[in-house]
Each structure stands twice: as structure tokens, then as C-alpha cells.
Amino acid sequence: MAKYKPQHQRLLFIDRKIQEGGFPNCRSLAEEWEVSSKTIQRDLDYLRYQLGAPLEYSAGERGYYYTEPRYQLPAMDVKESDLFAIYLAEKLLRQYEGTPVYHNLSQVFRKIEDSLPAKTCLGPGSDFSRFSFFSAAQTVIKPGIWQAVFEGLRTLRSLDIDYSVPSATGATTGRRIDPYHGVRFEGDWYVIAYCHLRREIRTFSLARMQAAQLSNVTFTIAP
């Protein structure tokens, strides 16, 4: 399936490459962005004739450059409702801080921010200080547990865990589980898994796992 790559993202990419002063050309830009040279040429024409970019081709350097070093792309049209949605989602994302989910999605948000124009006009109803976000209390999960459980869920591989049972003694048992599904509920994270010790599907709290080791044994989830 072809990747969806909007033109405004390509324009930002091309602009950044030109600003770096490396004299990029159609071939180098096309190879890096994984599109055709004709697509890049149309983007360059759009920069020059539609956006008025001071774009020129250097025969000596065999690439493009700006004749005005301080040139900046004009601000793109971003709807105010879109900006609010991005702001809201980023605030809600903080409740997952400390998890692999937070790290990965934070990188996605950084890419979104980098693709936004440097200047964006907001209307009078965009006072974000009128919104507050309170996250539910979270249990502490050891970093190594996260990586093992998420990798087991992703690759359908069994896990060997040391699990503290909810009892007065707090005894820890070793068991092998096949992780089926991850769940976040009221500030805690759980994994629904087949327990080889009990020979049934059970729900395990990641906070109660004292250790988790990813095995090389794969499994299939029964219908």
C-alpha cells in the first residue's frame, strides 16, 4: 500500500533541506522522501510560482538554494479546531507518562508540532488556560516489565513472570503466561493472559509483576 504523504509535509521537508544549505536536487529529494522526481519538481514549481519562494538552481552545485537566506514559508491554513484537538490530545497523553505508549506517542506529537507553521493565528475563544486535566492515580510498574509485556503482546510470545498474589503474605509465584490483551483501568494496567499454572485465562496486574522474561515460545489465540 502506498504511503500517504500530504504535499504540505513534503514542502516543509524540501524547505528544511534547502535551508540547510546542502543544495538538494530533484533526485536526492525524491530518493529521501520516497516519491518520484516529477512529484518533487511539481512541489518546487509550487514553491516558486504559488508561494513566491526565491528559489533558484545552481548549475555549479547541481542543486537548489534560496537567493534570500532569511526566507520562510508562509503560514499554512490550520483550523483552530484542529489545534485545539492536538492540544487536548497531548494533555490527555500525559496520563500514560512512564510507559512505552507515552514515549512512542510523544514522538508522534513532536512530528506533528514540527509540521505546523511557525505562526498560527487563534481566535478569541482559544484560551487554553480555561481547561484543567487531572489524571487518575497510577500504580508503579517496573520499566523492564513494560518492555517484556508489550513485546509479548506484539509478537505473541509467552512470558515467564514472578507474580505477587493479592494476599496478606504477599507471596510470589513463578508462572508462564500467554499475553492476549492489554487493559488500562482506573489508573492501573492489566494483561489478560492464559496462565499455564492454573490452565485458564486470568487477569494479571502489571504492578504486581516482580519480573518478566520474554521467552522464545510463540502461541496462537484460540477463537
**What is the number of alpha carbons within 13 Å of residue 211 lying toward its C-beta?**
9
The residue among 125 and 172 whose pLDDT is bigger is 172
Least confident of 82-96, 124-138, 145-159: 124-138
Over the chain, what is the mean pLDDT? 81
Which pLDDT tens digit goes with each residue over 25-65? Answer: 999 999 988 889 999 999 999 888 888 889 999 999 999 99
Grid coordinates of 218: 510463540
pLDDT attached to residue 146: 85
pTM check: above 0.85: no
Pairing of strands 209-218, 172-185: unpaired
Please spell the DSSP secondary structure of 83-118, one letter per residue: HHHHHHHHHHHGGGTTSHHHHHHHHHHHHHHHHS-S
Spell out the domain ranges in the chain.
Answer: 7-66, 75-118, 143-218
Domain 143-218 CATH (choose: 2.40.10, 2.30.30, 2.40.128, 3.30.519): 2.30.30
| The CATH fold of domain 7-66 | Arc Repressor Mutant, subunit A (1.10.10)
Enumerate the β-bridge partners of residue 143. Answer: none
Least confident of 118-122, 202-206, 211-215: 118-122
The residue among 78 and 162 whose pLDDT is bigger is 162
128: pLDDT confidence band, cut at 50, 70 and 90?
low
pLDDT attached to residue 138: 66
d(CA 71, CA 69): 6
Answer yes or no: same fold for 7-66 and 143-218. no
The residue among 223 and 139 whose pLDDT is bigger is 223
164-184: average pLDDT? 86
